[in-house]
Structure 1
Amino acid sequence: MKFLYFGDKHERVTTPKSRFDDFRSTQRKKTEEILRLGRLHEVQAFLQPGDFFDSPQPPLDFVAEVVEQWTEVPMQNLLFEYLQGKKDEFEIFSSMASRIPIIGVAGNHELFGNNLKTLPKTMIGFLNKVGFIQFATKANPVLFETEDGLTVAITGTHYHVNMDHPDFVEDDYVVHEKLGDVHIHIVHGYLTNKDLCSLIPHVRVDQIAHTKADLTITGHDHIGFPLTEIGGKFFVNPGAVVRLSNHPKELERIPKVLLIDVSKKGVQIEEIPLASAAKGEEVLSRESVMSQQERIFLLQQYKETVEQSDWKTEGTDIVSAIRSIPEEDERWKQAKEALLSQIAKKEEELSGFGKEVKDAYIEKIEIENFQSHEHSVIECSQGLNVFVGESKQGKTAVLRALSWLYENKPAGKRIVRQGASYAKVTVWLSNGYKVARVLETKRGGRNGYEVTTPTGECSFYNTKSLEVIQPLLGFSVVPVDKDVVLNVNFLKQGKGWFLIGDEYSAPLRAKIVGTICGVQYADAVLRELEAEERKYREREKWLKKELEELNEQTRRYEHVAQLEDALKECERMWNQIEMRQERKTDLEQLWSRHEAAKQGKEELLYMLNRLSRVDAMKGTQQAVRDVVQRWTEVRRWQERLETTQRKLAALEQMIHRLPSRDGLEETWSMIKQQSDRLFSLLLLWDKAEKLKQQKAEQEERLRRLKDLSFQKVEELKGQLIRLDGVKETYQKTQELLEKKLSLQQKIKSLQGELMKQEEQIKHHKEQYGKWLKAYGKCPICHSVLHDDRIHQMVDDLFAIE
């Protein structure tokens, strides 16, 4: 026979603060796995150690959801089908038999105030009544019989307020008499295999090793302890099914269940980790781990300090007691000072309720027209005064009169004796004061207190001055809290004894006891701190809830980072596409330009065939202009030469007529040579004429080229750069440039020759002038020549038109 044990389930609606997963979904998955394991191993029952629910009264809709998942049997539908005759008893029994029962006990979370007496009022108690879970106790054990004839007894112990107390260990944990061949005992208590600190109530395994139970399983401690065997008896706590805290051990622990196999061979126990349980770091937050550990350490340190110190004997009030607490470090000192400051502030707030009270007792009472008393005078003595007499003789009215005087109760005019116009209650006090409560029924009548001092001075106070009157009367109030003032002077008729009657609630009793002990101010501060703490806790819960919602919203967008990477990749690819599109457009444009250039190339080649020398001629245009200019100068020189030749011819005739011709022949020979040179210049002139004609032809070609569109020419020129024929054109241009340079050198040489001819002509002029001057006569008319005439003749002879 097999059983499946699972620990504290803590089914709850809300997500624990230490978890950031979908807690309800996680719980459902674990329940499904536990049910699946139960069916897989064909277990007889589930065993559960308590704290199935996290609270005594979870919401009903949530409970219905949990129960529906665990039962797996639609009982209502089966009942209707049975009543309608659709199914018989056997079918109904077969359907119900498929459900695996749950056997267990109640845990502390399922009880109100850890009080086991509240179990019938809890949800788990109700589910036990309707058969969802079967409680197993020592008084009501659950018994099974295996196929091989063994009896299995299951008992348990519910959690209660004294659980793990030394006086209750035997009753709670130890089985003194076995109820079957195999006895399994379930306890919701803190059983452990090692000793813990004194702060934590717990029970060690060796303390209950004498139990007769073959297997003792416990819950309560969520971390648990491993299977321990002592004297053939097994003790184990596999831990809770859920992890509610972020304790470091919980972060490392993987929840598991126990498969218990009972046979003649004994009890076999197998731990099965839950596959649905995620790793601790995936579901638990570590934000408050260190702060929790620090709080536990400080709590332990504080307890040890209190136990080791004798501060309780060092003061008679709370302030002295607080001051006597040892200061372990600076934090303790600061905490003490802050606490004392708050207590002082609270004492100041409540001091208005504790005015100085006159030490006095009543010596005499006079009652006038108050209820049944027309005029009564009662003498009192120090100590106890007793009013005795028959009923309805005014004894209670005396107490009411004193209450009216001391507390202004009851209010209104109904206290005035019928037929009277006023009511008055006067007391004489042992301290010399006389105080009277007066009420006049007439319109505008007095309603207040007459106070006569020991010196005879009389004053009247209205009812709003009650706080001033009460201390004079010796009326003592106990300021329990700012809004609670306790009257301890009167024990009224029909009321219970002080602190015992029903009029005192438990919290009020605690406040009163604290006031009597002199710690009311500290209690008030403590309540304020607790209220402030609750506010902060509520604020913390709200912030954590908001944080959970924000985390949930954040988790919805966890894929954004991946989308961002994908978006960046898409942008990169899009940029590449745009770049390639631009390159495609450029290539298309280049292709169009290539086609246009190809066509333009053909046209240009055709034009180049016809205008192959245009660029060269254009480059030599300036050179031609220079040649033309030089040609013009040569032309002028030619004209001068012709004139000179004519004059030389005339001069030759004159020379022949001269008496001596030797010097003239030599001169003539020189002139002849100059004439030959001038003739060579004429040849150059012919060449210049040809160049002029070529220039005109080139200018005509240039004119035709200018008729072409400038833009077309620019485009054609741009295309020519990328054409193969550019090189050939460049070479031709170089040849033309070389010819140009050669022509320029020739022109320069001619210019040099012309300059030399001019020098020679100048020299001949001088020689001719000297010859005429030496001869002294004109060679033509033989007249005598003077210097002026000689110069004129020379200038006329060599003058150039």
Structure 2
Amino acid sequence: MSATLVICGDLHYRGSNPRGRLDNFQEALDAKLREVFHVARDKEATAIIIPGDIFDSFNTSWSVVADLASLLTEQPCPVLTVMGNHDIAGGNQETVRRTPYGLLARLGLIRDLQMEPYEFSPEYNLIITITGHGYNTETDVDMGQFTPPPDDYPEIRFKIHVVHSMLLEKPPGFDMRHTLVRNVKTTADVIISGHYHLGFPEHPAMCVDRDDGVMFINPGALCRLAATPAEMDRPIGVVLAEIFNTGIEDKPGMTCQFIPLQSARPGYEVLSRDHLEAEQEREERINRFLGLLAAEGEAKFLEIQEIIDDIAKREELPAAVVKEALNRIGRAREALGGRNT
């Protein structure tokens, strides 16, 4: 006997279209979430896991919140999640009670794993616990986010921990707060993360198996929010995880399979890059204009001494005043990056 979990990425539920979306974004999310429910029902899943960012904003309108609440009543099994950075205000978890995320949790439509861990036993001597740590101001700074809370149940065999962390397999190449898979210290057997929308695309199942046996899963976001090349090309889907008893004491096993969602249309059908290309053209024009201004300014600097001499003669200014004016202009020119010629 085994246990099956359906693992999604960030949802970012919202009622308006992100810039560059060509379709109806909310309708697209509804279709994807219904397909996730269908997969969970078909596979007889124990739970669906969404690792944060249920909403795109903690200020989502209540009519849109009602739409998602209505949709969540169709769930075939519990939806387990943690707070994402978009679900709360300013990384402050104390604001959650005043947010749409907090409302769904209080209504029992989602289960916050940080507040209420989930535990089940698909068979004798195989107990599975799912815990979580939501986003806060210390995410990807305090490594304690990756460690499940202590428990008093020594018979527990398999621990899954859900986080909303910028968890990457390799450095991003630019300044961004993140955590590398190799640096994570945890007592969990599996870490499920959201936040990073691309997931682990270099791995067919969106899973990274570390040498010490810890598995890291991020299937990528269920949404496409930006028309970047990576977002345009990536598949949208879920990870189907099956946990089973290997027959070896304290050694449960887990297999993962990535399932593309049929309702997710290709990136080129739902995203436009026109606004990005227009912004790039605008930036190039601004840079050209600034270059012309710099060249013109250099010419004016060359003429300034003649202008000052002319004014000094007409106004009969003392030589000391003229000298100080030229000195100040020289210092200003140096500060602005001008060249002495």
Q: Judging changes above 3 Å, is the alpha-carbon distance between structure 1 residues 147 and 291 closer, same or farther for their aligned structure 2 residues?
A: farther
Q: 1:203 to 1:293 in 2, by over 3 A?
A: farther
Whether the 8 Å contact between 2:56 and 2:87 is mirrored in structure 1 is yes
| CA displacement at 1:236 relative to structure 2 | 2.1
* Distance apart, 1:211 and its partner CA: 1.7
Change (3 A) 1:290 1:197: farther
**By how many angstroms is 1:70 displaced?**
1.8
Q: Cα–Cα, structure 1 residues 183 and 289, in superposed 2: closer, same or farther, change >3 Å?
A: farther
**Aligned residue for 1:273?**
260
- Structure richer in helix, relative to its length: 1
Equivalent in 21, 25, 35 of residue 23 of structure 1: 25
Aligned mates of 1:282, 1:149 — CA distance in 2: 49
**How do 1:415-564 and structure 2 match up within 5 A?**
none
Is residue 176–residue 211 contact of structure 1 (8 Å, CA) maintained in 2?
no
Q: Which has the higher contact order (CA 8 A, sep 6+)?
A: 2
Match for residue 233 of structure 1 among 199, 202, 214: 214
Per-residue CA deviation, residues 34-55 of structure 1 (Å, 9 max, x unaligned), is: 1110100001111111111111
RMSD value, Cα: 2.8
1:183 to 153, 159, 163: 159
1:742-788 deviation per Cα after TM superposition (whole angstroms, max 9, x unaligned): xxxxxxxxxxxxxxxxxxxxxxxxxxxxxxxxxxxxxxxxxxxxxxx
Instruction: Please say if 1:42 is aligned against 2:44.
Output: yes
Partner of 1:213: 188
Q: Read off the aligned partner of 2:262 and give its amino acid letter.
A: A
Aligned equivalent of 1:260, options 218, 233, 241: 241
Query: Which deviations, in whole Å up to 9, do the C-alpha atoms of 1:167-208 show, x marking residues without a partner?
Result: x1x211234868631111111110010012342111000001
Amino acid at match of 1:108: N
Of 174, 177, 180 in structure 2, the residue corresponding to residue 201 of structure 1 is 177
From 274, 282, 307, the counterpart of 1:287? 274
Runs of 4+ in 1 over 3 A off after TM superposition: 174-179, 288-295, 328-335
CA contact (8 A) 2:40 2:76 kept: no
Question: SS in structure 2 opposite 1:160?
Answer: coil
**Structure 2 CA distance for aligned equivalents of residues 21 and 203 of structure 1:** 34
Contact 2:22/2:271, CA 8 A, preserved across alignment: yes
SS at structure 2 position matched to 1:56:
coil
Partner of 1:163: 139
In the superposition, relative to structure 1, how do residues 149 and 281 fare at CA in structure 2: closer, same or farther (>3 Å)?
same
CA distance in 2, matches of 1:227, 1:202: 18
Q: Secondary structure at the match of 2:48?
A: strand
Matches within 5 A, 1:47-66: 47-66=49-68
How big is each residue's C-alpha offset from its partner over 1:441-483, in whole Å with a ceiling of 9 and x where there is no partner?
Answer: xxxxxxxxxxxxxxxxxxxxxxxxxxxxxxxxxxxxxxxxxxx
Q: Counterparts of 1:189 and 1:147 in 2: how far apart (Å)? A: 32
Give 1:228 deviation, angstroms: 1.0
Letter in 1 for 2:243: V
Which runs of 5 or more structure 1 residues have no equivalent in the other structure?
73-97, 296-327, 339-801
Report what 1:132 is aligned to. 109
Shift of 1:60: 2.1
Distance 1:6 1:21 in 2: 22
Aligned to 1:453: none
**Aligned residue among 61, 67, 70 for 2:69:** 67
Question: Secondary structure of 2:119's partner?
Answer: strand
1:53-92 Cα shifts (integer Å, max 9, x gaps): 11113222222222212213xxxxxxxxxxxxxxxxxxxx
Alignment partners' CA distance in 1, 2:20 and 2:270: 8
**Would the alpha carbon gap of residues 283 and 142 (structure 1) be closer, same or farther in structure 2, given more than 3 Å must change?**
same
Contact 1:188–1:218 (CA under 8 A) maintained in structure 2: yes
Larger radius of gyration: 1
Give per-residue Cα distances to partners, 1:602-656, cap 9 Å, x unaligned.
xxxxxxxxxxxxxxxxxxxxxxxxxxxxxxxxxxxxxxxxxxxxxxxxxxxxxxx
Q: How does 1:596-615 map to 2 (within 5 A)?
A: none
1:334 CA displacement: 5.3
Q: Between Structure 1 and Structure 2, which shows a larger proportion of strand residues?
A: 2
State whether structure 2 residue 14 is matched by structure 1 residue 12.
Answer: yes
Corresponding residue to 2:87 among 77, 98, 110:
110
Q: Quick one: distance in 2 between partners of 1:294 and 1:188?
A: 36
The 3-state SS of whatever aligns with 1:113 is: coil
Partner of 1:683: none
Q: Which of 154, 162, 172 pairs up with 2:130?
A: 154
Q: Which runs of 5+ in 2 are unaligned?
A: 201-205, 247-252, 298-341
Residue type of the partner of 1:219?
A: G
Cα distance in 2 for residues equivalent to 1:118 and 1:11 = 19
Partner letter of residue 23 of structure 2?
A: D
Distance in 1, Cα, partners of 2:262 & 2:237: 9
2:312 is matched with none
Work out the CA distance in 2 between the residues paired with 1:164 and 1:234.
Answer: 18
Post-superposition offset of 1:288 = 3.8
What is the rounded CA distance, in whole Å, between the counterparts of 1:332 and 1:159 in structure 2?
44
The corresponding residue for 1:249 is 230
List aligned pairs for 1:729-768, cutoff 5 A. Answer: none
Check 1:176–1:107 CA distance in 2 against 1; reply closer, same or farther (3 A cut).
Answer: closer
Match of 2:35 in 1: 33
1:212 match: secondary structure: coil
SS of the residue 1:112 aligns to = coil
SS in 2 for 1:57: coil
Partner amino acid for 1:275?
Answer: Q
CA distance in 2, matches of 1:18, 1:115: 30
Q: Provide the residue aligned with 1:122 in structure 2.
A: 99
Counterpart of 1:145 (choices 96, 121, 124) is 121
The TM-score normalised by the length of structure 2 is: 0.74
